[in-house]
Amino acid sequence: MLDRRATEDLRVIRTLMERSATYELLSARAGVGAGAMALAGAGFLALTRRTDAESCGLVWAGVFLASLASTVWCVIQRGQERNEPVWSPQARAVVTALLPPFLVGWTLSVFFFARGEHLLLPGVWMLCYACGALATATYAPEPIRGLGLAMLGFGTLTLALPPAYGNLMMGIAFGFGHLALAAALERRDRRVPADTPAASPLPTGWRLLRGGARDGDPGGRA
């Protein structure tokens, strides 16, 4: 009985320690916002049939900035709800991991737009996004890794298709991809209470990790 209790306590503590190293402020709301904006951008370009550099650049720059602002806002709200700092060590690690892929994507965007080959950029953006998502997999929630792997496939496929399919693939990859991410994050959040019940007693395992027990626990140090 005591062995089972100690094993359960250690399992719960390990789960809590793993979560403490993970950036937990990314919410399903952010995924919904980013996905909806990507679908709106792709839908607008499809309906207006615009493929010129100016229209594509303005639309996708707007989608990116609006998605970024929405994500930051959702992160701040979630931090307030959970009473957690937004700019934590985990947040700094995530931002640091994202910077190289972002800079590569920005540089390639300028290069392709300058050459008039902007219709090739959707596949490039997906691959850069995939690199960023996988680079943050150590710190970000598990569904981020899945989205990163999916983006690798989408990016490769998009580059293999004729440029005319780029806008459609942007809607599928970034639109429905982020909506799928939102659903996965929502399911994950709902599982958290079941994985670590709030009423679960932790003292035994916690004291074992700290090197001993107090208050007369068996096996503790006097």
User: Which of 54-68, 145-159, 203-217 has the least mean pLDDT?
Assistant: 203-217
Q: pLDDT for 33-75, tens place per residue?
A: 999 999 999 999 999 999 999 999 999 999 999 999 999 998 8
Residues whose CB is less than 8 angstroms from the CB of residue 21 and which lie 6 or more positions away in sequence, other chains included: 90, 139
pLDDT at 102 over 60: yes
Residues whose CB falls within 8 Å of the CB of residue 111, separated by 6 or more in sequence, listed in order: none
Sign of the C-alpha dihedral computed for residues 147, 153, 154 and 155 taken in this order: positive
Helix axes 28-48, 177-195, angle to 10 degrees: 170
Over residues 146-153, mean pLDDT = 95
pLDDT mean over 74-89 = 85
**Amino acid, res. 89:** P
- Residue 99's CB is within 10 A of a number of other CB atoms, namely 12
pLDDT higher than threshold 90 for residue 78:
no
Distance between CA atoms of residues 96 and 85, nearest Å = 17
Q: For residues 168 and 175, give the distance between their C-alpha atoms in angstroms, rounded to a whole number.
A: 10
Helix axes 121-135, 89-114, angle to 10 degrees: 160
Looking at residue 6, what is its pLDDT?
A: 58
